[in-house]
Structure 1
């Protein structure tokens, strides 16, 4: 009986994200197949850090809390008209598509850098999922 109760609990926990239809989302690392957060941070610093940071707008907008945030909505950043037209919310899947080809998603946007490696994208997104919306 205890075994069935444990298995039932595991099933309920596994099914909740699907039943809530995105209201409660599974962590992005899970959604991206369990990316390596430490590797993602190093990749973010090395590949993205020249134009972006978590807390300060630079050439590109700040990224703390990007997952779940409306596209082109960071205060104090002047987005390109191309990105403002995209609309919607940044999800792990959308970030994955963006990193594969920002010019495909928003032709005329200011970002040209791509991350062609699936594992690197997954790791970067897993790292970004660990940041929340509060500035540090």
Structure 2
């Protein structure tokens, strides 16, 4: 029933299908390639009004936002982080975040960091966390963290308030 010719046909069919898949992907990339020589240019830009609520990143704005931060709301927003981070002292895909506010960067016990976070600073201050949580890959290029970030400034300060409430 299963002789070597049948097995050879199955393996050949799988290899052929894989080759067609790879060539299709390559052709699709070439067909829809934007820009050239490493340039990334959007083919169409949609203009939107800036309604960031005056969070231009100024020192006074950050202090005002932190003063109004709500740890209970931050716990709800932290739900987005729970897929990779724990707050019970155990590392998961990412390092544990209990006691992260005020902790030296890249120092969670037992977690192997990529080294890219050292660009952020030396200590996880609330302001460092605020900027990092907005765009992790933009603030620390090369970080292994794949999270896109929290775009709302209120969400970021609420998460920071929640993390501060956990202590260490």
Match of 2:141 in 1: 107
Deviation at 1:112, TM superposition (A): 2.8
* Misfit runs of 4+, over 6 Å: none
Q: Secondary structure at the match of 1:122?
A: helix
Native 8 Å contact 2:85 2:95 kept in 1: yes
Q: Distance in 2 between matches of 1:39 and 1:83?
A: 26
Candidates 77, 81, 94, aligned match of 1:48:
81
Candidates 67, 82, 98, aligned match of 2:101:
67
RMSD of aligned Cα (Å): 1.8
Q: Structure 1: any 5+ residue segments left out of the alignment?
A: 1-28
Q: Structure 2: any 5+ residue segments left out of the alignment?
A: 1-62
Q: Distance in 2 between matches of 1:127 and 1:106?
A: 23
Aligned length: 104
Larger displacement relative to structure 2 (80-89 or 68-77):
80-89
TM-score (norm 1): 0.70
Deviation at 1:30, TM superposition (A): 7.3
Native 8 Å contact 1:52 1:58 kept in 2: yes
Higher RCO, 1 vs 2 (CA within 8 Å, ≥6 residues apart): 1
Question: For the pair shown, which has the larger CA radius of gyration, 1 or 2?
Answer: 2
Candidates 156, 159, 166, aligned match of 1:121:
156
TM-score (norm 2): 0.57
